[in-house]
Structure 1
């Protein structure tokens, strides 16, 4: 099911993304710079390194950070990055309380970006497989989104004939123009339903739905329940171009 649905809800005030189907590899491969330090917001493990000032577990060094992030055995990862170990000494008790609330309630009390820490992200993964990420620079998210979309397209055959399957489609990252068209759709929450992925001539396309209710992850097959078909995200396998065709446009194509 993880590659059947890709759900993204963008909240522009705090640069927060709620998503399903974007995996950690998509996120890590979107880094411009791998964080040097992580402060873990999950329950404290006494067997791991603990910062004496804040009381949180910490991970330092890019190699150890990547090992933690890409460890599939660890569930519900919750963390905030920080620029330098010495900065932790400047965190106030009030800010420690806010960080505890972030990890417990999966939401912020005040700005999730702390000038003392210089953090670029807050990453909150829940047990229901929904992920909430705050981005200091929202542009960093669009590379992550491109990674996820390309991976999901690669995972589907689009009912292509055996002849076409022998010649693997080469996907390129989403271009800025396509991202700009998708961006306003994400503000209301958009679901890419790969169970309805299909081939239309040279186009490989996936429908885009605006949900009228909270996206819930379960084992049942998702079916539209008053949800709105916005249009399609398509890939031209011959020209290697992406296209977003909204519902009124797709009828004319």
Structure 2
């Protein structure tokens, strides 16, 4: 079946596999992911890609992106790569210390998007393993610390909403105050939803003069994102399981369940 093309910006799907420390998502793109963290990643070790300006590591025979080229990678349009897989790492010296077994594990990880062992390496000091097919359509990301996921998700929601507000401002010439990110600690309250599989719909948000309400539904475990999307677009806003609420006067987010 040929995948349909969807607007991934207004719908976020999340399913957290707690045991294996990864999150499957739809609707969060590479650029949003990178920009959602306050501390910048040092280097990206590329396992699957089509980036033409990467550096080459002789020890692993793999290419990598140093920090100063990450923005260029974002602008390269990684969605068009098809498969796009990488790990972050701190120092090139650590890359040169990887054993043959560890390199084999990385190659397996990039090829099958499955781990032989948890993909966190002391020599690399990596926080993530990012495995995507049609980036933003199907992303499988391993997190060393799950709090990084909730921080990322809260910041991405803020990024998406602010981009949407910017577009509206261009047409009505009315300035709006930038929205703050959703606090990651607030989002940890729905950790059970993420383990069951949930959808956040920015498209179906209710935006009034007093507040913004964003509905959340528990939808289940999906690997086929077309099937997930077909079910998600028909969800009834009156039957949502929770709402993220931004109180404009207080300039703060809260979760209603």
Q: Into which bin does the TM-score normalised by the smaller protein fall?
A: 0.7 to 0.9
Larger Rg computed on CA atoms = 1
Separation (CA, whole Å) in 2 of partners of 1:78 and 1:175: 28
In structure 1, the residue corresponding to 2:88 is in which secondary structure?
strand
Structure-2 change in CA distance of 1:224 and 1:179 (3 Å):
closer
Give the secondary structure class of the aligned counterpart of 1:9.
Answer: strand
Partner of 1:251: none
CA contact (8 A) 2:127 2:145 kept: yes
Matches within 5 A, 1:1-253: 1-42=7-48, 49-60=55-66, 62-72=67-77, 75=81, 76-127=83-134, 129-155=137-163, 166=174, 168-199=176-207, 202-214=210-222, 216-218=224-226, 222-224=233-235, 229-246=240-257
Q: Which residue in 2 is equivalent to 1:249? A: none
**1:80 positional shift:** 1.1
Specify which structure has the higher proportion of helix. Answer: 2
TM-score (norm 1): 0.79
Measured after TM superposition, the shift of residue 113 of structure 1 is: 0.2
Deviations 1:47-100 (A, max 9, x none): 85432222211233x212332244325534211122222223322222122111
Q: Is the 8 A contact 1:21 1:148 kept in 2?
A: no
Match of 2:3 in 1: none
SS of 1:50's equivalent in the other structure is strand
Give how far 1:176 is off: 4.8
* Separation of aligned partners in 1, 2:41 and 2:95: 15
How many corresponding residue pairs?
A: 238
C-alpha displacement of 1:208 = 0.6
Tell me the distance in 2 between the aligned counterparts of 1:176 and 1:146: 6
Q: Structure 1 stretches of 5 or more lacking a match?
A: 247-253
Conserved 8 A contact 1:30-1:140: no
The separation in 2 between residues aligned to 1:112 and 1:147, in whole angstroms, is 25
- Does the aligned pair in 1 maintain the 2:43–2:90 contact within 8 Å? yes
Give the gaps of 5 or more residues in structure 2.
Answer: 1-6
TM-score (norm: length of structure 2): 0.78
CA RMSD of aligned residues (A): 3.1
